[in-house]
């Protein structure tokens, strides 16, 4: 037997065995996967505009109007009373409701009017009849059509259930608003002023 041939054949046999082992390792690696457990991503959403000190619930009374009415005279009030048309209104009536879409209640605004005083020991009762138009972006509340503001607190505006918890409602006082002063002999010349107390509640009255 030729020794050289034997060595060559042995080398071929070893090479084949080595190649077979490598193939087995690669096959094992190809069939193995590795993963870690699922992780998470998160963030926090606060109610309102993020100012938890001033607006923790997300329901905020932003603005209410200052109203100036046309003037009258002592004789008119002393003899029959007066109905005064609106001369000017500053600031709209505005509510921000960002409690979230899971809010379960509507909101309402009540208003109460104090007596009118002129600083000369003269005071007069009065009743405001309020008309206001919602702006084009407001869907959460309707126009105000003749809400009465007098000596007792009464509801003047409320939400309608639309876009509850995720909207701003704005209404601008219109020229239909007027002030009625009943007849009184306790009247003197001067500028009379009163305070309107506005209250926002997160439960609308029926």
- Asked if the structure places residue 45 within a domain, the reply is no
- pLDDT band (50, 70, 90) for residue 14: very low
- Asked if the structure places residue 44 within a domain, the reply is no
Percentage of the chain exceeding pLDDT 70: 82
**164-198 confidence digits (pLDDT tens):** 999 999 999 999 999 999 999 999 999 999 999 99
- Asked if the structure places residue 129 within a domain, the reply is yes
Going by the DSSP 8-state scheme, the letter that residue 102 receives in this structure is T
Q: In terms of domains, do 22 and 76 share one?
A: no
Q: Strands, E, within 24-63: which ranges? A: 59-63
Q: In terms of domains, do 108 and 7 share one?
A: no
Q: Is 134:92 a contact under the CB 8 Å cutoff?
A: no
Domain containing residue 11:
1-31
- Asked if the structure places residue 151 within a domain, the reply is yes
Q: In terms of domains, do 101 and 177 share one?
A: yes
Domain tally, the chain = 2
Which residue did the predictor score with more confidence, 55 or 197? 197
Instruction: Name every residue whose Cβ is closer than 8 Å to that of residue 171 and which is 6 or more positions away in sequence.
Output: 92, 93, 94, 132, 133, 134, 135, 138, 141, 143, 144, 157
Model pLDDT, residue 13? 44
Q: In terms of domains, do 95 and 7 share one?
A: no
Of 49-58, 67-76, 150-159, 184-193, give the lowest mean pLDDT range.
Answer: 49-58
Q: In terms of domains, do 147 and 88 share one?
A: yes
**60-110 confidence digits (pLDDT tens):** 999 999 999 999 999 999 999 999 999 999 999 999 999 999 999 999 999
- Asked if the structure places residue 48 within a domain, the reply is no
């Amino acid at each position: 037997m030729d020794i050289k041939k034997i060595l060559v054949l042995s080398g071929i046999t070893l090479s084949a065995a080595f190649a077979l082992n490598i193939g087995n390792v690669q096959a094992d690696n190809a069939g193995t996967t590795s993963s870690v457990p699922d992780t998470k991503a998160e963030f926090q959403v606060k109610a309102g505009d993020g100012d938890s000190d001033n607006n923790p619930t997300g329901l905020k009374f932003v603005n209410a109007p200052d109203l100036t009415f046309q003037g009258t005279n002592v004789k008119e009030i002393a003899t029959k009373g007066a109905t005064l048309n609106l001369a000017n209104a500053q600031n709209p009536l505005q509510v921000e409701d960002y409690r979230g879409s899971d809010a379960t209640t509507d909101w309402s605004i009540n208003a109460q009017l104090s007596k009118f005083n002129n600083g000369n020991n003269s005071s007069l009762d009065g009743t405001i009849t309020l008309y206001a138009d919602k702006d084009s972006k407001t869907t959460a509340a309707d126009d105000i059509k003749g809400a009465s503001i007098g000596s007792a607190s009464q509801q003047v505006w409320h939400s309608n259930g639309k876009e509850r918890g995720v909207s701003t409602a704005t209404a601008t006082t219109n020229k239909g608003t007027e002030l009625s002063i009943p007849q009184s002999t306790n009247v003197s010349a001067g500028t009379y002023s009163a305070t309107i107390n506005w209250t926002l509640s997160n439960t609308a009255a029926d």
